[in-house]
A and B are shown apart, each in its own frame.
Chain A
Amino acid sequence: MQSNALVTFDGVIKRFGGFVAVQKLDLEIHKGEFLAIMGSSGCGKTTTLRMLAGLDAPTEGEIRLGGKPINDLPTWKRDTPMVWQSLALFPFLNVIENVEFALKMRGVGATERRKRAGNWLERMQISEFAERNISQLSGGQRQRVALARSLVVEPEILLLDEPLSALDAHLKVRMQSVLQNLQRELGITFVYVTHSQSEAFAMADRVVIMSKGVVEQVGSAQEIYRAPRTRFVAEFLGSSNIFAGTVTPTGMLDAATGQHRLPRAMSGAAPKSAATLVVLDTRSYLSAVEPGPEFDWVRAKVVGEEFTGAMAKIYLETSDGSELRVQSGYDELAALPINNGQELFVYWRPEDGHVLPNA
């Protein structure tokens, strides 16, 4: 694991005056992986990326690139090209001049850099726009120019700061596969910052979830989805039902919604300790009649519904005010009377429950 690390954040803290943007960050980024850093605004994800690029300096701690500390290395001496949210293409240069810029800064000769830039334009399938001014290109084409511009120096790592946020939905999806394929082809490390869960889960090998400067969880998309480590992550993903309470002497969970069974793995839990049970919405089901004894269930009233074609997500509220959600195929729910205010049973298998590590 150690030799695989390309970037290491070692106890990195970033303060802006009195505000702590990034609290003690310890993270390793592996060679050749597609890492996404995800969270809402102000969580510290962009600050982390900027520190890696050298645009902000850590207040404390060390950042190592390829084993060497780079804290004191200015931006232009690091080999960490970035694709910006606004793309930051130079409006006074045409496409090929934009792409060859980094080579020009390295002192590569005119013919050589034209050739290399031209190769990258071909690779990104935008050769025909070489002499055009960037204002004449569409959003998707400009994305490709930005990528080519950063990759022309054949770096070990590419940083991306929410590059797809300005695109239309269908273009976004297309660019997602472009990026994923590109990363696999080149075999270099991508560090991708986004607030979009779907982008992160679609493309990344590993995802880092950050909130208020703290790393909540690091893992693959599946790991995070099935086994969130903190309540924040569970709530952030928005696809689980959360029951918080204390463990009873009989090994049950005493929550506001009633008493629920804990999965077998939790049989040794100490009584009176706090525990949080999490059940995926796709493992939660609805019934008009009381379910059998092999399930745990809660009574709740329907308060809302969402349809996405084949799937439906039903929102319910219990008598104690907890919000629950059930996600199912549309056909499965068709038989049930789902109207606003309708009281139904939400049930699940105890073994499908997951208990958060530190309650």
Chain B
Amino acid sequence: MRRSVSLYGLTFSLPMLIWQLLFFVAPLVFLIALSFWTVKNFRMEADFDTINWVTMYGRWVFWQSYGLTLALATAACVITSILAFPCSYAIAFKLSARQQQLAIFMMVIPFFTSYLVRVYSWQIFLSDNGIINGVLGAVGMGPFPMLNTVFATMIGYLTLTFPLVVLLQLFSLMFIDRTLIEAAHNLRCGRIRTVFAVVIPSARVGLVIAALFCFILSFGDFVSPLYLGGGDPTTLSILITDTTKSGQQWPRAAVIALTMIATLLAVAFAAVGFAYKGRTK
């Protein structure tokens, strides 16, 4: 058909473009500008002052929080990937097509339940007189303090990311050429070794992408560290919500947010580079 731009084509393509530029790109770009504003007498003023950056980066609390969030997110993505893999592997290779469909459908359900409510439920499970301690108590053990710990925060991250990681790993595993695996067995490669030598490398892209999404979600989540981890130590996301809601120090919050975006971009870039290393898309 004709190559030239038509009213018809524009009617369908423009709305999304305009909307995203206006309400997605512009706010994020605005964050950059915002980070240079100043707050005088509880009022924000448009300015070009690096004071927020200097102050924020000069605070030990910020770097501590940054390191902690980075460590937590990295731990989350590694732990979740490892815990999810046997499950996704099993679904991909050990279930029939119909069972697979059912399993996928069931893994999608959590996306449409409230994450908040699930976190609240975990509070019930993990609290000192909660379900787990109650069961343990019945056999004469504990009580173990599980709430307000890093352990609880990790449980929270798992709740947030496990289904997504399983699904992403699954899609990548399902498309592996089965004859590769049979060939490996044929060449006397044991089952477990085949997993590491054939399956994982073949699905590398999907596995890395799954881990990346887990990282992004955990890095930015404030609900688990706050309501299961007790808010101490503070993550960057909690820092943002505190700074915004109670402190009204939006420019400082912007500094934190931009630092987070930069970190995520760097991690994403590195991850995708690693995923596709040595192969074309």
CA distance A128 to B2 in the complex (A): 41
**B1-18 CB contacts (< 8 Å) to partner A:** 1-3
Least distance between B94 CB and chain A CB atoms (Å) = 34
Contact with B along A75-107 (1 / 0, CB 8 A): 100000000000000000000000000000000
Least distance between A193 CB and chain B CB atoms (Å) = 20
Which bracket fits the contact residues of B? under 10
Least distance between A39 CB and chain B CB atoms (Å) = 24
**A47-95 CB contacts (< 8 Å) to partner B:** 55-57, 74-75
By a CB distance below 8 angstroms, the chain A residues around B2 are 57, 74
In the complex, how many residues of chain A place their beta carbon closer than 8 angstroms to a beta carbon of chain B?
5
CA distance A55 to B3 in the complex (A): 11
By a CB distance below 8 angstroms, the chain A residues around B3 are 57
CA distance A75 to B2 in the complex (A): 10
Question: Looking at chain B's contact residues, is the secondary structure mostly helix, strand, loop, or mixed?
Answer: loop
CA distance A74 to B3 in the complex (A): 12
By a CB distance below 8 angstroms, the chain B residues around A57 are 1-3
Residue of B nearest to A56 (CB): B1
Residue of A nearest to B1 (CB): A55
Contact with A along B1-43 (1 / 0, CB 8 A): 1110000000000000000000000000000000000000000
Residue of A nearest to B2 (CB): A57
CA distance A57 to B4 in the complex (A): 12
Residue of B nearest to A75 (CB): B1
Least distance between B4 CB and chain A CB atoms (Å) = 10
Least distance between B89 CB and chain A CB atoms (Å) = 37
CA distance A74 to B2 in the complex (A): 8
CA distance A200 to B191 in the complex (A): 56
CA distance A74 to B8 in the complex (A): 14
Least distance between B68 CB and chain A CB atoms (Å) = 53
CA distance A74 to B6 in the complex (A): 13
By a CB distance below 8 angstroms, the chain B residues around A55 are 1
CA distance A228 to B3 in the complex (A): 39
Contact with A along B173-197 (1 / 0, CB 8 A): 0000000000000000000000000
Contact with B along A234-247 (1 / 0, CB 8 A): 00000000000000
CA distance A205 to B2 in the complex (A): 33
Residue of A nearest to B3 (CB): A57
By a CB distance below 8 angstroms, the chain B residues around A75 are 1
Residue of B nearest to A55 (CB): B1
Least distance between B117 CB and chain A CB atoms (Å) = 40
Contact with A along B239-277 (1 / 0, CB 8 A): 000000000000000000000000000000000000000
Chain A residues with a Cβ under 8 A of chain B: 55-57, 74-75
6 new A-B contacts, CB < 8 A, other than A56-B1, A74-B2, are: A55-B1, A57-B1, A57-B2, A57-B3, A74-B1, A75-B1
Task: List 8 A-B residue pairs with CB atoms under 8 Å apart, sorted by A's residue number.
Answer: A55-B1, A56-B1, A57-B1, A57-B2, A57-B3, A74-B1, A74-B2, A75-B1
